[in-house]
Amino acid sequence: TTIACIFDLDGVLVDTAVYHYQAWKKLANSLGFDFSEAQNEQLKGVNRMRSLDMILNWGRVTKTAAEKEELATLKNSWYVDMINKMSVSEVLPGSLNLLKALKAQGIKIALGSASKNSGLILERTELAHFFDAIVDGNAVTTSKPDPEVFIKGAELLNAAAADCIVFEDAAAGVQAAIAADMAVIGIGTAANLPGADEYYKDLSAITVEGLINLVKSKHS
């Protein structure tokens, strides 16, 4: 069996989810309201403008399109300040070992992220060289849960959807992988990520053999 792996970035390979949360929280607070951690879960994997719309809606705040552009730019400037200080130490447990093991076995690897900052993050954390294809927020027009990001990743790897495994920490991302007809490993819990094929707290317990078996069992 040939498999191909498509990794989400924030919350799967690197610990940037916390920086998104801090920057959005600061923005909401500056507008006079706050949102909960449960609400923050819903923002994971969702692109920047859609996230802003959801947050403004929670605060019952209305803004013009031009004001929204400004707010999104402000949030991003705070976020970029934080990720500019990132280092290899913020690569999540198990990520490096799994990427190395996949590479050693000649398995193709793509990035499937909603982020427009993926280039900077991959550079700061020295992960860029692992990827055969990068599909991020600059390359797609629709946000997860739309499957576009993963379908494009599979195309660039020349892989059939049935051979792909997506790694996701976001409910929207798991839904996108299901819509793309791909196997999906949830980094998190079944409660937060309904519909994934398997769940892990991070990538450290995942083996190449386990991944091959997952793809086999899904299509037998």
Q: In the complex, which residues of this chain contact ligand G16 (CB under 6 A)?
A: 8-11, 20, 43-48, 51, 76, 113-117, 137, 170, 173
* 8, 15, 136, 163: the active-site residue: 8
Is 53 known to be catalytic? no
Inter-residue contact 109 to 7 (CB < 8 Å) = yes
Residue 116 binding result from Mg ion, ligand G16, none, given CB thresholds of 5 to 8 Å by partner type: ligand G16
Contacts 24+ apart (CB under 8 A), 203-208: 203/12, 203/13, 203/92, 203/93, 203/94, 203/95, 203/97, 203/98, 203/167, 204/93, 204/94, 204/97, 204/98, 205/94, 206/94, 206/98, 207/101, 208/101, 208/102, 208/105, 208/107
Radius of gyration of the CA atoms of the chain, in A: 17
Nearest in space to 137 (alpha carbons), one of 37, 218, 20: 20
Task: Find the binding residues for Mg ion in span 131-160 (CB under 5 A).
Answer: none
Residue 25 counted as an annotated binding residue = no
> With respect to ligand G16, which residue has the nearer C-beta, 85 or 106?
85
Is 8 known to be catalytic? yes
Count, residues near Mg ion per rule CB under 5 A: 6
> With respect to ligand G16, which residue has the nearer C-beta, 187 or 206?
187
Write the interaction track for Mg ion spanning residues 44-83; mark x where CB under 5 A is met and - where it is not.
-x--------------------------------------
User: Contact between 102 and Mg ion (CB under 5 A)?
Assistant: no
Both tokens of 55, joined, read 């947050």
Question: Chain-centre distance of CA 219, in angstroms?
Answer: 25
Residue 78 CB, shortest distance to Mg ion, in Å, is 19
Q: Is 183 helix (H, G, I), strand (E, B) or coil?
A: strand
User: Contact between 197 and Mg ion (CB under 5 A)?
Assistant: no
- Binding-site residues from annotation for substrate: 8-10, 24, 43-48, 51, 75, 113-117, 144
Residues carrying an active site annotation? 8, 10
User: In the complex, which residues of this chain contact Mg ion (CB under 5 A)?
Assistant: 8, 10-11, 45, 169-170
- Binding-site residues from annotation for Mg(2+): 8, 10, 168-169
